[in-house]
Amino acid sequence: MEIWINPACSKCRSAISLLDAEGAEYTVRRYLEDVPSEDEIREVLDRLGLEPWDITRTQEAAAKELGLKEWARDDGSRDRWIAALASHPELIQRPIITADDGSAVVARTEDAVRDVLKKS
């Protein structure tokens, strides 16, 4: 499995600690440095079963500068949102774990991390 993290994020550090405690095998992707492409974001969204606005951190400064709260949340706007996430990775909710079985989860809670561990 792979986990997208921002090392400064307490939820990311908690998820890593739980994965380590459970002896999980995983790779870390520091997504602010190794920025996901638009296609990678689309793939993760498909795996999550979510839309780009569902994983967007709308309180970030970049979100306010872009005026994201005013953007339409519909199929016609999906690519615009994905492009914004690829251009401003700090807007991506974290941590995100992609599991070997093809699923993914926004792992902001211990329960979410444990759900992924059950599948792997």
Which amino acid is present at 58?
Answer: T
Residue 59: count of CB within 10 angstroms of its CB: 10
Q: How far is the first Cα of the chain from the last one, in angstroms, to the nearest whole number? A: 8
- Judge contact between 71 and 80, C-beta under 8 A: yes
* Active-site entry in 9, 18, 32, 50: 9
Active-site residue 9, yes or no? yes
Residue numbers annotated as active site: 9
